[in-house]
Amino acid sequence: MKRGFLGFFILFGSFFLLAAPSHSQDLAHSQDLAHSQDFGLEDLYRAALERAERVRFTEEELNISRLEKERALSGIIPDITAYGAYTRYSESKVSGTAATLIQPESSTAYGLRLDQFYSLGGREFRDIRIAEAGIERTGYDVSAFKEGYLFSVAGAYYDVLKGAKLVDIAKANVDRLSKQRDAADARLRVGEVTKTALLRAEAELSGARSELVRADNALKISKAVLAREVGIEGDFGLKETEGAEDGITIYTLPALKELAFTERAELKSLHLEKKIAGEGARNARGEYWPFLALQGVYEKRDANPSTLFFNDETIFGGVSLNFVVFEGGLRKARVSEAEARERQISLLYEDLRREVSVEVEKAYFDYLTEKGVFDALRDQLLFAGDNFNAVSKQFTYGLADSLDVMDANALLVTAERQVAEAGYNYHVAILRLKRATGTLLAQVTGDEEKNK
């Protein structure tokens, strides 16, 4: 009977294990779900422009600038005021023997009033032009912020790709050193090497495993940074984007500088700031001109008691010209301040042009440096790989010791890491050059007008 119960439990347990999905299947399925979202660099650009809070925050500045224009437009539209009043007196009063009413018991008045003030210096219309220039300037400021933000997204993207590559390199290193440890153990058993060779292999393998843990954690941190920059949630995968160097190699350094002077949103914004400062200075000088005041009133009145000659309806208008003779030097101070502001913006614009020129030059030479380093390190990686394969075969046939293999493996790992670093640094250098010339946002958004 005991054997029968034991057989029943074994049969039932086997059926349960066969019917239930394995842990490895569950893990594979969860990984497939986790990486159901795969983003390329263009996808991340679009997601950042749509989702990132800081981008939407800067776009609100553009809405505020449009409202500033509406406020400026209101300056040339008259103000219309509706009013009404009721007055109750203690008693009515009459004057003289003719019993002329001089104070009724009560009176009412209501009407519409139109008022408008204009500066003969044209201040109101300049305010409209300033507001229009402000909208355009804010648009350039938003574009400049977006370009800088997209460059930071690209940097985070390549940090993740570089981190994933370093994880792959660390895994491959662990696999190679595991095989080397097994080979050293096998040769120790037959007496071909001493125990120090095995101990050296074990030590190198432990170091490689710790490096794998470090690289894996660094990858997780870089993915978290990218998710924060773009505004995405959950786990995700990345796709490598090709063609990052498109449109760069056709330019010389002077042409790149001229392109930056034409396309950099910061320069366009500051140029408009110069225009706004000039309009502000003319506004300040316009305060020496008189002010014209227009007025129109329609009023309806009633009184109790009323008289025969009581005027119950009044319509009148008026024009007045006001000129400030002396105000303690306030207008002169405002003119001097506005002119100083205009000179200040002009100096800042010239300084920014020089700064952009240096920035383009630095980005250009960084691009050339990273390109040359990347090409040289790829050759070094090829040689390091061939060297490791040759030394490994020599160790198998007893023509090299374990120290030679470890040195060859260390050279290979170093070359792999350097190529990974240089490759992604090269891509970032290309994007930095596009950012310096002001063409990165146009490439992302496909705005052809910006490249004309």
| Alpha carbon distance 433, 422 (integer Å) | 16
pLDDT > 80? residue 178: yes
Determine the pLDDT at residue 104: 83
Q: Give the per-residue pLDDT at 394.
A: 85
- Between these two residues, 365 and 447, which has the higher pLDDT value? 365
pLDDT at 24: 38
Segment 164-183 shows an average pLDDT of 89
CA distance 216 to 171: 10
pTM, 2 dp: 0.76
pLDDT score at 299: 92
The pLDDT of 428-441, averaged and rounded, is: 91
pLDDT of residue 22: 41
The pLDDT confidence band at residue 247, using thresholds 50, 70 and 90, is low
Beta bridge partners of 103: 93
Nearest Cα to Cα of residue 230 among 140, 152, 159: 152
In 231-329, alpha helices (H): 253-263, 265-285
- Residues 392-415 have a mean pLDDT of 83
| pLDDT classification of 259: cutoffs 50, 70, 90 | very high
Please give the average per-residue pLDDT across 39-44, as a whole number. 89
pLDDT average, residue stretch 64-84: 90
What pLDDT is attached to residue 246?
Answer: 55
3-state helix, strand, coil in the chain (%, to 5): 70, 15, 15
**How far is it, in rounded angstroms, from Cα 176 to Cα 180?**
6
- Residue 268 — very low, low, confident or very high, per pLDDT cuts 50/70/90? very high
**Mean pLDDT within 190-209:** 84
Give residue-wise pLDDT tens across range 107-142: 899 999 999 988 888 888 898 999 999 999 999 999
Encode pLDDT of 284-323 as tens digits. Answer: 888 888 888 999 999 998 888 877 677 888 998 899 988 8
> Given this model, what pLDDT does residue 83 score?
92
- All domains of the chain, ordered by start, with CATH? 39-88+121-451 (1.20.1600.10)
Q: Give percent above pLDDT 90 in the chain.
A: 43
Strand ranges for 244-350 from DSSP E: 291-304, 313-322
For residue 444, the number of C-alpha atoms closer than 13 Å in the C-beta half-sphere is 27
At residue 249, the pLDDT reads: 61
Q: Is 60 exposed, middle or buried (0-12, 13-18, 19+ CB in 10 A)?
A: exposed
